[in-house]
Amino acid sequence: MSELSEKLLYEKKSIYRTADAKTKEDIFAYAEGYKHFIDVAKTEREAVKEGIALAEKKGYMPYKFGDRIEVGARYYYNNRNKNLFVFRIGSEDIEKDGIRIIAAHIDSPRLDLKQCPVYEDSEMCFFKTHYYGGIKKYQWTTIPLALHGVIVRADGAEMIVNVGEDDTDPVFYINDLLPHLAQEQSKKTLGEAIPGESLNVLVGAMPVEGEEGDAIKLNVLRILNEKYGITEADFLSAEICAVPAAKARDVGFDRALVGGYGHDDRVCSYPALTALLDSPDTRHTVIVVLADKEEIGSEGNTGMQSYLLEDLMEQIAASAGKNPRVVRSVSTCLSADVNAAYDPNFKDAFEKANSSMLSCGAALSKYTGSRGKSGSNDASAEYIGRLRRIFAQKGVVWQSAELGKVDLGGGGTVAKYISKMNIDVVDLGVPVISMHAPYEVISKADLYSAYLAFLAFIE
Ligand code: MN
Ligand code: MN
């Protein structure tokens, strides 16, 4: 590159092309902790549990609404085991310094069991499912699945379910039609070929001895009764989901990438949380939100549309004797969510100059939404300008990004809900290949770049 082009042109560059040996080592080492996190935290409940374990190791304490919030203290608030707030109170005046917020989500697309899931047909026993979030249904057939969740029994006992992750566990499975008989199926569109009602999970094939009728279903219920003390009616008060049983693995001969289930959005949740836990800063007040329900519109009392973040900021302001409206007006937020990485196998869906490129750093999206930016937060030039200066100061490699071609579709994040509180917010996250597939791919370089960006933001 000439001096003039170096000075005048904006170019995205792979971090792997410029990183020295030490940086590459740091990138790879950081990814090991992440792989462990996504293996043990496949659902929002498991992510909350693991998030609390990590926070407690760093001296964070449980917070209860109404408790006084002390300067210098570190807290977490566990909202119904599905949504976690981890926060640290700094020494600066929050009416001037504001609160720095990073909001990521810990729910991922999956198949939830229906409330009456169990049935038997033709010597097989199945669980009926209702898919959660945006999935391409055909991708969920013929792969090993695990069952995760909780059953609240009639007697009130809560039984944790986690089957299919241990190498000695059985796994579960969704049937597909053999190609030999798929002439009619193959004529259908990808969206129609596997209807939602055919996403039934195969869970058994052996009858109870000496029983007539649905003896295979009865045998499955017998095994579940032995293991969890449940009856069929206990599924009425259960939340169990089928997720891919596969573990996170390095992808490629050079191990530059990570394949795994639910990078969206644990690939932003983990760096957001570890940035806060690793940061030695004591001046700024920081909240990391790990939200639930983003994949179905941030609804419910564990999603970002609830008033909890506002309530928590109000409690922090009240404890410091500050005006919460003033605090909110000077607070800033990174909505930490993934972006679609440019994929040369599907060129037609992307506009290359404005797509995030794999390994070129955390992707900042000024706006999301669909069609004419409908449903978008559209962050201001001033706020992005401020972030640019912070990232430049701290040497964070980042890139701009927009989700695919203008007329092809789109997506949203939690940014718009946080902006309603009079807070400046923009999306920043990791580019993903095959987003929402049972097994997605990300670059270790982008994961580490997001971690450095979050560190720079909170310090
Ligand atoms: Mn997401
Ligand atoms: Mn998503």
Give CATH for domain 3-108+261-458. 3.40.630.10
Euclidean distance between CA atoms 60 and 64, whole angstroms: 13
Ligand 1 centroid to residue 329 C-alpha, Å: 26
pLDDT for 408: 87
Which residues line ion ligand 2, judged by CB < 5 Å?
Answer: 264
* Chain mean pLDDT for the chain: 97
How many whole angstroms from 214 Cα to the centroid of ligand 1?
41
pLDDT of residue 23: 97
pLDDT of residue 409: 83
Q: Tens digits of per-residue pLDDT, 198-252? A: 999 999 999 999 998 999 999 999 999 999 999 999 999 999 999 999 999 999 9
CB burial class (10 A; 0-12, 13-18, 19+) of residue 281?
middle
The CA 295 to ligand 2 mean position distance, Å, reads: 5
* Interval 388-411 mean pLDDT: 93
Q: What was the pLDDT predicted at 96?
A: 98
Question: What pLDDT band is residue 267 in, cutting at 50, 70 and 90?
Answer: very high
pLDDT, one tens digit per residue, over 417-426 is: 999 999 999 9
Give pLDDT, residue 412. Answer: 86
Average pLDDT of span 373-396: 95
Residues 6+ apart with CB under 8 A from 131: 109, 110, 111, 112, 137, 140, 196, 199
Give the separation between CA 292 and CA 299, rounded to whole angstroms.
9
Q: Taken in order 151, 296, 343, 334, is the CA torsion positive or negative?
A: negative
Asked if the model's pLDDT at residue 1 lies above 80, the reply is no
pTM score of the predicted model: 0.97
- pLDDT reported for residue 407: 86
CATH topology of domain 110-244: Aminopeptidase i, Domain 2 (2.30.250)
Using a 10 angstrom Cβ sphere, with 0-12 exposed, 13-18 middle and 19 or more buried, the burial of residue 183 is: exposed
Residue 68 has pLDDT above 80, yes or no: yes
Spans of all domains in the chain: 3-108+261-458, 110-244
Q: How confident is the model at residue 404 (pLDDT cuts 50, 70, 90)?
A: confident
Averaged pLDDT for residues 337-342 = 97
Across the range 38-61, mean pLDDT stands at 98
CA of 59 to the centre of ligand 2 (A): 31
User: Of the ligands numbered here, which is closest to the C-alpha atom of 267?
Assistant: 1
Q: Which ligand does the CA of 295 lie closest to?
A: 2
> Which ligand has the minimum distance to the alpha carbon of residue 291?
1
Expressed in angstroms and rounded, the spacing between residue 206 Cα and the centre of ligand 1 is 40
In which band, very low, low, confident or very high, does the pLDDT at 93 lie, cut at 50, 70 and 90?
very high
Q: What is the pLDDT of residue 442?
A: 98
Mapping DSSP onto H, E and C, the string for 300-359 reads CCCCCCCCHHHHHHHHHHHHCCCCHHHHHHCCEEEECCCEEECCHHHHHHCCHHHCECCC
